[in-house]
Structure 1
Amino acid sequence: MIKHALPKQPTLRSDTAWVIYQILEVGKSSRECLNTAQRRHSSKDSAWIQEMAMGVMRQLPQLQLWLRELLEQPLKGKKKIIEHLLLLGLYQIAFTRVSDHAAISETVNACPNLGNPGLKGLVNAILRRFQREHMAQQLSSDPIVASGLPKWIVKSLQQYYSQREVAQIIKQTNRIAPIWLRVNQRQTDIDHFTQHLRDQNIQFTLSNDHPEAIILQSRVDIPSLPGYADGWFSVQDGAAQHAARYLAPRPNERVLDCCAAPGGKTSHIMELVPDLAECIALDNETARLARLEENMRRLKHSVKVLHADALDTESWWDGNLFDRILLDAPCSATGVIRRHPDIRWLRKASDIEKLVALQQKMLNTLWPLLKKGGSLLYATCSILPQENVRQIAGFLASHSDAKLDPILNNETNDLPGRQILPGEGQMDGFYYARLIKSAS
């Protein structure tokens, strides 16, 4: 497998094809490779790159089905990236308002910049045949292909959810997620901020369930919004905005936010209760911690940041117990696929068992760090029960000093926590369960 350097010349199609290749062939996340390509372009063009690359992720099964029919044999070696350029070309013709002429000619012209000038004729022939034979109207009747999801995810959903729920999850997963903002109460208030949005003719709605939340009605350049540099707001989905309130910290308490980066939940905790005794933000990813520190500076919050492996408590824990622990556990991220469409192809069925084992180990490791009478909030952005309700039910069954503190009225030890499904209240998929450590 050839990793391919960025194309020498920054052009839209070649850079977008490079992003698609990095995700599907190299296994990089969009977070790792999108920004690299986007930095070479204007804000308008960088938005186009993201829209096209993520659109290909959403429609990949159908696009690959068409490509197999159109391409006599797979391309190999340094030619492989042209398959990803072809996926982009097919996507433009079938699913966007880009004119067929521009989709074909500009895609063909990207071949030399991707190191394959000799394949211009092949790309031209394939895209023109696709156009000529109206193949965009020939959609597969296979429900797995139509879902835009890997087979293992669809099968998992069918195992755990009703037919109606599965259909709704698939529908919502393939929609583009709205942008949620959370107003930083320590720097402004929602009335002041929304007035500035109105002054700039930025359309938004408010949320009945989140007092600091604003939902934008269209895509915007976030740093250009009023008050960004002054820390007036954070970008945080509505589901994630429940974390700080469910944790419910109180003044003078010691709080641990585990797996905290990039800091959305940490900052919300500080905005709700600025007079904590201490708030520790712990994470083991250097790049994400850098983003957390940058966000804390912008939002004007002071927290203790630790770069460490949560499981290696001897390397970072000072021996003082915590009143509250937020464990935002590593997970499959199946609840946020609509926001990060590349997850569907980066995550594998074999990952789930490893993640469940890691979550269990983290729960068992952090539980002794909690005071008697203290509270631990377990959170994931997953919709798979083995990471969520089954994980917590198992923990409760194996820990006599753990008691369920229900978030919803109908929770039981066998069915603990709140599962939010994608699209519910315009939110991402998320799971929360709250546990109290027995005082006796």
Structure 2
Amino acid sequence: MRGRRAAPARGPARGRQGDHRRRLSQRKARPGVVVTTQAGVAVRVMAARVVDAVMYRGRSLKAELAANLPRIEDPRDRALLEAICFAVLRSRARSEAALAAWMPRPLGRADNELRALLHVGFAQLVVMELPAHAALSATVEAVRALGRPHQDKLVNALLRRAQREGLPSAPADALWPAWLRRQVREDWPLQADAIFAASQQEAPLWLRVNRRHGNRDDYGQRLLDAGIEAEVPDGVPDALLLRAPVAATGLPGFAQGDVSVQDGAAQRVADLLDGLPAGARVLDMCAAPGGKSAHLLERDPMRRLLAIDVDARRLQRVRETFDRVGVQADMKPADAADPSAWWDGEPFDAVLLDAPCSAMGIVRRQPDVLMHRRADDLVALTRLQARLLDAAWQVLRPGGRLVYTTCSILRAENALQLEAFRARHAAALVESLDETWGHADGGGRQRLPGECDMDGFFYAVLRKA
């Protein structure tokens, strides 16, 4: 599995090289699909509009990509659009420094779309290192496609300067709001710089092999036969690790449920629920999008699992995930924090609470979260987490197991939340976890971003005495 390295796995950042000589004008496009006679220009136009929406209008990157990717016909161009947008958000501090230093006068709010396109151009040349000729020509042409032909010379000059000089440096924590910088340094004074640096990096692609459909070694050989090199990580029994990005739909057997995309830190949650009695009744309190529940059922389809989510539309995604991987469970749209509205009175043997959180452990996968998170969000989230923990304790049988996890690195959501819960519930006994789960903190364990190539994640296991 470590043998040959294949070009198809190189992914969007470096795979669309050359001058993209497709002739999309020769084919008939579906309604709403972007088509251009100069291949690549439409991708840059759309990237600028996505970046404008996220950086200057407060939109979600995930939502903007979901709305725009289907409009692009070629899957390679869809991958390129996604890669550009992520590269822009990870490097925006350096791009802003370049614009501040190089522009003869600052751009106004009416020029946000142009500013976004400059970010797109800088990211291609400096971060992604795409061939300069293709990146320059397509981005300058995109200025005209955006209806700004009078500014094409300005864009060309700025991009060529970036090509010659690179972008100014910026501190690793420059993208983090001041209140979050202070909080991370207070919570993790020795690790803060490493956290900031890791959060700027592109995350590897983790796969979860469905053990009901085959074993990991056999699936690794299928990847190799498809020209995709994978690594076998230690301590994550169903996982394979890809250093180069690959679209999920391009993975062998993805549509048939043979494999799923899930970070190694999230995959380890299933280990905390191993060893339950046959036919155990399990509750997943905040189930969407369904990856952790699906993993539990792939390991033991005899579990009686109830998946709850407050959003019925998100619960539909859970159903689609279950259908794809071939598992079944009961599902219920409900507010998990209010058991009186959904609980039938039969206690659960185990409860998984993967709680809503600030997502500060997955910044490298959701870089826009740093632009949208506010300090009062943390107050509301910690209150919700406390309510969910109390509800989980109410429906758990004596002797049962409560697994509390978040994809945050903030102690207010993790160690301090756990300590406050134990103060409210004297019968809560903490099960110890070893150092393979991360740093000991408040009775749980904290994985920090990038450690063992994983996302930031908090784990705690409580027994009801």
TM-score normalised by L of structure 1: 0.89
- Say if 2:47 is the partner of 1:47: no
User: Could you tell me how far 1:343 is from its partner in structure 2?
Assistant: 1.9
Partner of 1:36: 67
User: Could you tell me how far 1:188 is from its partner in structure 2?
Assistant: 1.5
User: Could you tell me how far 1:130 is from its partner in structure 2?
Assistant: 4.9
The superposition leaves residues 14-34 of structure 1 with CA deviations (integer Å, 9 ceiling, x where unpaired) of: 111111122222322222111
Unaligned runs of 5+ residues in structure 1 are 1-5
Partner of 1:352: 378
Do the aligned partners of 1:257 and 1:327 also contact (CA within 8 Å) in 2? yes
| Aligned pairs for 1:34-433 within 5 A | 34-39=65-70, 40-71=72-103, 72-77=105-110, 79-128=111-160, 130=162, 134-136=164-166, 138-140=168-170, 142=171, 144-145=173-174, 148-163=175-190, 165-248=191-274, 249-276=276-303, 278-408=304-434, 415-433=442-460
Do the aligned partners of 1:19 and 1:53 also contact (CA within 8 Å) in 2? yes
CA distance in 1, matches of 2:245, 2:172: 30
Structure 2: which amino acid aligns with 1:31? K
Q: Secondary structure at the match of 1:324?
A: strand
CA distance in 2, matches of 1:270, 1:7: 38
The superposition leaves residues 268-321 of structure 1 with CA deviations (integer Å, 9 ceiling, x where unpaired) of: 111222212x20111123443222111101111001111222223333222222
RMSD: 2.5
Q: Secondary structure at the match of 1:198?
A: helix
Do the aligned partners of 1:93 and 1:103 also contact (CA within 8 Å) in 2? yes
CA distance in 2, matches of 1:228, 1:96: 27
Structure 1 pair 413/172, CA: closer, same or farther in 2 (3 Å)? Answer: closer
CA distance in 1, matches of 2:364, 2:125: 22
CA distance in 2, matches of 1:191, 1:139: 43
Structure 1: which amino acid aligns with 2:375? A
Structure 2: which amino acid aligns with 1:12? V
CA distance in 1, matches of 2:278, 2:160: 66
Structure 2: which amino acid aligns with 1:136? G
Do the aligned partners of 2:358 and 2:381 also contact (CA within 8 Å) in 1? yes
Structure 2: which amino acid aligns with 1:284? V
Q: Secondary structure at the match of 1:356?
A: helix
User: Could you tell me how far 1:9 is from its partner in structure 2?
Assistant: 5.7
- Which is worse superposed, 328-337 or 410-419? 410-419
CA distance in 1, matches of 2:167, 2:440: 50
Partner of 2:461: 434
Structure 1 pair 414/172, CA: closer, same or farther in 2 (3 Å)? Answer: closer
User: Could you tell me how far 1:209 is from its partner in structure 2?
Assistant: 0.4
The superposition leaves residues 186-243 of structure 1 with CA deviations (integer Å, 9 ceiling, x where unpaired) of: 1222232222222223211112202211112322222222222221122111111111
Do the aligned partners of 1:9 and 1:113 also contact (CA within 8 Å) in 2? no
Do the aligned partners of 1:250 and 1:273 also contact (CA within 8 Å) in 2? no
CA distance in 2, matches of 1:411, 1:265: 19
User: Could you tell me how far 1:128 is from its partner in structure 2?
Assistant: 4.7
Structure 1 pair 251/218, CA: closer, same or farther in 2 (3 Å)? Answer: same
CA distance in 1, matches of 2:248, 2:440: 42
Structure 1: which amino acid aligns with 2:54? I
Partner of 1:3: none
User: Could you tell me how far 1:143 is from its partner in structure 2?
Assistant: 5.5
CA distance in 1, matches of 2:307, 2:358: 22
The total of aligned residue pairs comes to: 425
Do the aligned partners of 1:17 and 1:84 also contact (CA within 8 Å) in 2? yes
CA distance in 1, matches of 2:398, 2:267: 26
Q: Secondary structure at the match of 1:176?
A: coil
1:12 pairs, out of 27, 31, 43, with 43
Structure 1 pair 121/430, CA: closer, same or farther in 2 (3 Å)? Answer: same
Partner of 1:24: 55
Q: Secondary structure at the match of 1:282?
A: strand
Q: Secondary structure at the match of 1:215?
A: strand
Do the aligned partners of 2:337 and 2:388 also contact (CA within 8 Å) in 1? yes
Do the aligned partners of 1:111 and 1:117 also contact (CA within 8 Å) in 2? yes
Do the aligned partners of 1:16 and 1:52 also contact (CA within 8 Å) in 2? yes
- Which is worse superposed, 188-197 or 238-247? 188-197
Structure 1 pair 129/195, CA: closer, same or farther in 2 (3 Å)? Answer: closer
CA distance in 1, matches of 2:262, 2:116: 32
User: Could you tell me how far 1:85 is from its partner in structure 2?
Assistant: 1.1
User: Could you tell me how far 1:181 is from its partner in structure 2?
Assistant: 1.2
CA distance in 2, matches of 1:259, 1:309: 9
Do the aligned partners of 1:24 and 1:346 also contact (CA within 8 Å) in 2? no
CA distance in 2, matches of 1:199, 1:273: 29
